[in-house]
């Protein structure tokens, strides 16, 4: 069955939500999570840190089928040749997935990396135009193209310019936890003349332990001491901290990408704040 497409409305402050990754074949937990979340589109992650997860295009189809909400499947260059990636893109379009988040992917035990993110963006554009390796294909794909950026590390603006030039249509960033980092990134985007919409990544922290893990293990991320102190006093304040940050940034944003780590109530609180 071919499904009708409902592309993400990039002009109406979209709020996307990333669902939990899934290691097994039973998708019922993710479907239950999706049914209880409010979102303009759902993201389905792909093999984070090289771990085994169910194929995100398949999961995107199941989520869309269960909720009627648009889906964005993550697609990484790490594990596939260009031909293999093209086959996945065709499958995504056939199954009614509306968008692809094009990623190079975290390194695993064995890596292919025949192309990187700009090349993957170009490949999706090529298939959307009904071409593959300069030959016509019978049915063009119909997919929005998202890319990622990490505001917490240097060198992202220049790489983002390459992705935009390749044909990216919007950006979903890694999570930001402090105003200074967000403003520095947004200022860099503006100065570079990047025109595609930026959906700033927000993660309502689940606990002090999770925050300390990010500070210790996640490259480039520094969660401010003030945030750690608030979490130490109240581990249920993650959504409120995220909303506090967004209240200072909303006027500068094109949209928001929420990574709730399974915290449905927190994600819904943030979504409601942004939409009201």
Q: Domains of the chain, with CATH numbers?
A: 15-204+254-261 (3.20.20.220)
* pLDDT at res. 106: 66
Q: Tell me how far apart the alpha carbons of residues 170 and 219 are, in angstroms, rounded to a whole number.
A: 24
* pLDDT at res. 4: 52
**How confident is the model over 8-50, as pLDDT tens digits?**
999 999 999 999 877 778 899 999 999 999 999 999 998 665 5
Q: Tell me how far apart the alpha carbons of residues 4 and 93 are, in angstroms, rounded to a whole number.
A: 10
Q: Tell me how far apart the alpha carbons of residues 27 and 253 are, in angstroms, rounded to a whole number.
A: 33
Q: Is the dihedral of CA 125, 127, 130, 132 positive or negative?
A: positive
* pLDDT at res. 2: 44
* pLDDT at res. 108: 56
Look up the pTM and report it: 0.93
Residue ranges of the chain with pLDDT lower than 70?
1-5, 47-51, 106-112
Q: Transcribe the chain into DSSP letters.
A: -PPPP----TTS--EEEEPPP--SS--HHHHHHHHT---SEEEE---GGG-----HHHHHHHHHHHH--EEEEEEESTT--HHHHHHHHHHHHHTT--EEEEE-----SS---SS-HHHHHHHHHHHHTTEETTEE-SS----EEEEEE-TTSTTHHHHHHHHHHHT--EEEEEE--SHHHHHHHHHHHHHHT--S-EEEEE-----HHHHHHHHHHSTT----HHHHHHHHH-TT-HHHHHHHHHHHHGGG-SEEEE--TT-HHHHHHHHHHHH-
The CA distances from residue 146 to 39, 45, 214, in Å, are: 17, 13, 25
* pLDDT at res. 1: 39
């Amino acid at each position: 069955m071919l499904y009708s497409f409902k592309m993400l409305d990039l002009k109406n402050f979209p709020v996307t939500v990333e669902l939990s990754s899934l290691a097994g074949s039973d998708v019922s937990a993710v479907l239950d999570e999706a049914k209880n979340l409010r979102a303009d589109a759902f993201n389905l992650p792909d093999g984070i840190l090289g771990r085994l997860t169910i194929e995100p295009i398949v999961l995107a189809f199941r989520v869309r089928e269960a909720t009627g909400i648009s889906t964005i499947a993550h697609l990484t260059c790490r594990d596939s040749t260009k031909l293999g990636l093209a086959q996945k893109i065709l499958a995504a379009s056939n199954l009614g997935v509306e968008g692809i988040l094009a990623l190079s992917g975290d390194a695993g035990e064995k890596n292919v990396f025949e192309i990187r993110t700009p090349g993957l963006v170009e490949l999706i554009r090529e298939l959307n135009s009904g071409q593959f390796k300069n030959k016509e294909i019978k049915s063009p794909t119909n997919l929005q193209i998202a890319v990622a950026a990490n505001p917490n590390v240097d060198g992202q603006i220049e790489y983002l310019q390459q992705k935009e030039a390749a044909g990216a249509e919007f950006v979903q960033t890694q999570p930001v936890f402090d105003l200074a980092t967000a403003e520095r990134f947004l200022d860099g985007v503006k100065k570079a003349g990047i025109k595609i919409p930026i959906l700033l990544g927000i993660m309502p922290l689940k606990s002090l332990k999770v925050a300390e893990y990010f500070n210790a293990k996640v490259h480039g991320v520094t969660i401010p001491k003030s945030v750690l102190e608030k979490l130490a006093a109240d581990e249920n304040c993650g959504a409120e901290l995220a909303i506090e940050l967004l209240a200072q940034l909303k006027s500068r944003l094109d949209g928001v990408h929420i990574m709730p780590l399974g915290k449905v109530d927190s994600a819904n609180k943030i979504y409601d704040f942004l939409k009201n």
